[in-house]
């Protein structure tokens, strides 16, 4: 049996979205919630489930209308537990939003599929968003903090990009290039150069979204002019930022809103909010 990250989808399911028109399609990206088996469990001094619920509420409050898709870009479940994915399923299905999920290094793809496979689009797969397309990649590699796509997924990605020239978003948990932090750069996407080469073969790729680094970060992948790469803050906690936060709130949880226009243009907005106020600890940290 091939490793999970080597398996690729055989179809491209549609995500319900507004019909193409003057209004852009809106994608809300959250990342790295690090949920636990117990909903009240703590990690890094915070309650991941409460912080994710609060973050989703705060992000939605900053939008003028519900997004067409909610993307959570990996490290969904810190302890890789059935209970953690059940917590995630219950919260996300209650939101009523179309869902797309990426596995990160802190995930169990088999349990993720078992619990959420009927409720969300899971990487690797391709989604249609009106005139746009979203390609979800799985960079999970068992036993490795770094990421790996593998030959099978890279071949599938190349075929997708050459088969359909629609404007395309690519999403993967691990950044495909160094961000300037030695710790994270040691556990980035290990076949990032191969990914960059594939994306440069076509003009359809518009940008790449990632998580993993718990901070806002922007860069360019490949030779000039380069493909924009946008890393998303975590809903749980922030790590020391490499780049200044445009909102001056680099230590706060956050997310990102993407607006995808019918003519292929796009724009993005960083979102920040204050953390959920934790009660006094009454359980041991995980």
Give the separation between CA 281 and CA 63, rounded to whole angstroms. Answer: 32
Residue 85 CB-density burial (10 A; 0-12 exposed, 13-18 middle, 19+ buried): buried
pLDDT the model gives residue 46: 95
The pTM of the full predicted model, rounded to 2 decimals, is 0.91
Residue 11: the pLDDT is 44
**What are the backbone angles phi and psi of residue 211, rounded to the nearest 5°?**
-130, -130
Task: Give the model's pLDDT for residue 225.
Answer: 84
| Cβ atoms of 221 and 208 closer than 8 Å | yes
CA-nearest of 65, 98, 73, 264 to 168 is: 264
Cα 32 from chain centre: 8
pLDDT value of residue 159: 94
Mean pLDDT by 10 residues, the chain (286 residues): 42 50 88 93 92 98 96 96 96 97 97 97 95 97 95 96 92 97 96 95 92 97 89 97 96 97 95 92 50
Closest CA to 121 of 49, 35, 14: 14
Give pLDDT, residue 7.
47
The reported pLDDT for the residue numbered 35 is 97
The CA distance from 255 to 58, in Å, is 10
CA distance 200 to 222: 7
User: Which runs of E-coded beta strand occur in 75-231?
Assistant: 99-102, 121-122, 125-129, 132-136, 168-171, 205-210, 217-221, 227-231
Per-residue pLDDT, 283: 46
Show the domains of the chain with their CATH numbers. Answer: 24-161+171-190+231-244 (3.60.21.10)
Q: Is 88 in a helix, a strand, or coil?
A: helix
* Contact (CB, 8 A) for 158 and 151: no
* 267: its two tokens: 């724009």
Residue 141, burial from CB neighbour count under 10 angstroms (0-12, 13-18, 19+): buried
Cβ atoms within 10 Å of 138's Cβ, excluding its own: 29
Q: What is the pLDDT of residue 6?
A: 45
* Cα radius of gyration rounded to whole Å, the chain: 18
pLDDT at 167: 95
- Locate the DSSP E strands across the chain: 25-30, 69-73, 99-102, 121-122, 125-129, 132-136, 168-171, 205-210, 217-221, 227-231, 254-260, 266-272
Q: Residue 99: what pLDDT?
A: 98
User: What pLDDT is attached to residue 43?
Assistant: 87
């Amino acid at each position: 049996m091939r490793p999970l990250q080597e398996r690729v989808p055989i179809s491209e399911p549609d995500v319900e979205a507004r019909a193409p028109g003057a209004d852009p399609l809106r994608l809300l990206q959250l990342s790295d919630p690090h949920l636990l088996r117990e909903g009240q469990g703590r990690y890094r001094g915070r309650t991941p489930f409460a912080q994710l619920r609060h973050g989703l509420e705060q992000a939605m409050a900053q939008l003028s209308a519900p997004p067409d898709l909610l993307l959570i870009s990996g490290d969904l479940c810190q302890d890789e537990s059935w209970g953690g994915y059940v917590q995630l399923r219950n919260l996300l299905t209650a939101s009523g939003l179309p869902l797309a999920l990426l596995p990160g290094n802190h995930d169990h793809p088999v349990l993720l599929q078992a619990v959420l496979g009927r409720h969300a689009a899971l990487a690797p797969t391709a989604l249609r968003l009106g005139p746009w397309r979203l390609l979800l990649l799985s960079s999970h590699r068992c036993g490795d903090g770094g990421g790996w796509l593998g030959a099978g997924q890279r071949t599938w990605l190349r075929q997708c990009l050459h088969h359909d020239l629609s404007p395309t978003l690519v999403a993967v948990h691990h950044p495909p290039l160094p961000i300037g932090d030695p710790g994270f750069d040691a556990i980035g996407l290990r076949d990032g150069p191969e990914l960059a080469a594939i994306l440069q073969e076509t003009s359809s790729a518009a940008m790449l979204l990632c998580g993993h680094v718990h901070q806002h970060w922007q860069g360019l992948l490949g030779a000039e002019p380069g493909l924009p790469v946008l890393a998303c803050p975590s809903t749980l906690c922030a790590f020391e930022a490499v780049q200044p936060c445009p909102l001056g709130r680099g230590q706060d949880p956050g997310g990102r809103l993407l607006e995808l226009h019918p003519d292929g243009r796009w724009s993005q907005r960083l979102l920040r909010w204050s953390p959920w106020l934790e009660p006094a600890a009454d359980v041991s940290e995980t």
